[in-house]
């Protein structure tokens, strides 16, 4: 088990480094952020200010030199300051990350609390109206674009029925925060819930025909005990594996959902930073999102070792 943990941690470090490198290179292909301020300005004063800004943020150096400086700053936990907002990037992300975490965690819980029982019941009632209905609904959930689904929910529950707020985070009260979180969390959870329901259903169908379940029934065990103690327990192995991938999709989907519902999260910050070529904000935000996904996947891999003892010997 110790070797499994060490190997997953090493893989996580290399994955994070790869993401950091790719983002560093791609963001510089987009152009010079100083041009957003002084593009087209031909006066000597403007040119001097532009050169001073490039020197301030190290943009006057070659790309390899900027890359070395960037990695050095990361090792010192120095993420720089925003080019546009003139504030430390750590402060900007610290203010917004609670909103993103709240949205992601709630959406994750909603998707799994619904997907697990729905997938198991669909497998147990294979070929019935319940099974076909659940398959149809999950197909719709997988096919709907998140931004379109969010807009439709706003039109229905906010504009037409006036039940829930359309955007924002609400006041400081728990009730206000919950009311503003319902629609974004549901919008983010539905596609993931649909994928997980279909996956759990297929996994349970494979397990329900296994020989060890037939043996358990032959020993006189009740059907409920056979399903829960032997069937669902073994179905958890591939389900746990998929959790890490789903967490990645949730984090990525939060970027779109925050924009649709006007949530001041990290995703909303990234979109503004990309459009404004704010290199320090983009790099730090993507790094934070990548680390969160890597940590989640590493934790799932380690948990997988406890669920399936065979993995511990790898």
pLDDT tens digits, residue range 137-146? 888 888 888 8
Residue 306: per-residue pLDDT: 65
Spans of the chain below 70 pLDDT: 1-2, 4, 37-42, 46, 172, 230, 244, 304-314
84 class by beta-carbon count within 10 Å (0-12 exposed, 13-18 middle, 19+ buried): middle
Q: Hey, where are the domains in the chain?
A: 89-313
Structure tokens at 132: 């076909």
Residue 227: per-residue pLDDT: 76
Residue 215: per-residue pLDDT: 75
Residue 40: per-residue pLDDT: 58
Task: Using alpha carbons, select from 260, 213, 255, 257 the residue that is nearest to residue 234.
Answer: 213
CATH 2.60.120.260 holds for 89-313 = no
pTM of the model: 0.78
pLDDT tens digits, residue range 270-314? 888 887 788 888 888 888 878 877 877 777 777 766 666 555 555
Residue 308: per-residue pLDDT: 61
pLDDT tens digits, residue range 105-127? 888 888 888 888 888 888 888 88
Residue 291: per-residue pLDDT: 81
Structure tokens at 309: 């003892």
Structure tokens at 220: 């006189």
DSSP string of 183-209, one letter each residue = HHHHHHHHHHHHHHHHHHHHHHHHHHT
Angle 279-307/233-261 helices, nearest 10 degrees?
Answer: 160
Task: Using alpha carbons, select from 290, 292, 272 the residue that is nearest to residue 82.
Answer: 272
| Distance, C-alpha 295 to centroid of its chain | 12
Residue 202: per-residue pLDDT: 85
């Amino acid at each position: 088990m110790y070797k499994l943990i060490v190997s997953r941690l090493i893989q996580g470090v290399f994955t994070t480094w790869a993401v950091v490198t790719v983002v560093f290179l791609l963001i510089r292909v987009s152009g010079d952020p100083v041009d957003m301020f002084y593009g087209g300005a031909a006066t000597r004063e403007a040119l001097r200010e532009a050169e001073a800004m490039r020197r301030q943020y190290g943009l006057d150096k070659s790309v390899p030199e900027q890359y070395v400086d960037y990695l050095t700053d990361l090792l010192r936990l120095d993420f720089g300051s925003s080019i546009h907002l003139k504030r430390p990037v750590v402060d900007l992300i610290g203010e917004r990350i609670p909103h993103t975490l709240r949205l992601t965690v709630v959406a994750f819980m909603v998707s799994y609390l619904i997907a697990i029982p729905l997938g198991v019941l669909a497998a147990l009632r294979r070929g019935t109206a319940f099974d076909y209905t659940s398959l149809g609904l999950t197909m719709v959930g997988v096919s709907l674009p998140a931004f379109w689904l969010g807009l439709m929910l706003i039109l229905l529950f906010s504009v037409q029925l006036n039940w829930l707020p359309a955007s924002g985070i609400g006041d400081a009260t728990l009730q206000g925060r919950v009311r503003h979180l319902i629609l974004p969390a549901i919008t983010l959870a539905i596609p993931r819930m649909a994928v997980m329901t279909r996956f759990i259903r297929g996994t349970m169908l494979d397990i329900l025909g296994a020989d060890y379940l037939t043996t358990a029934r032959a020993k006189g065990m009740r059907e409920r005990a056979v399903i829960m103690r032997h069937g669902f327990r073994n179905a958890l192995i591939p389900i746990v594996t998929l959790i890490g991938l789903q967490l990645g999709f949730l984090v990525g989907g939060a970027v779109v959902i925050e924009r649709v519902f006007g949530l001041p999260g990290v995703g909303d910050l990234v979109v503004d930073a990309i459009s404004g070529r704010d290199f320090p904000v983009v790099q730090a935000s993507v790094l934070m999102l990548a680390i969160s996904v890597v940590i989640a996947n590493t934790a799932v891999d380690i948990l997988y070792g406890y669920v399936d003892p065979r993995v511990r010997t790898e």
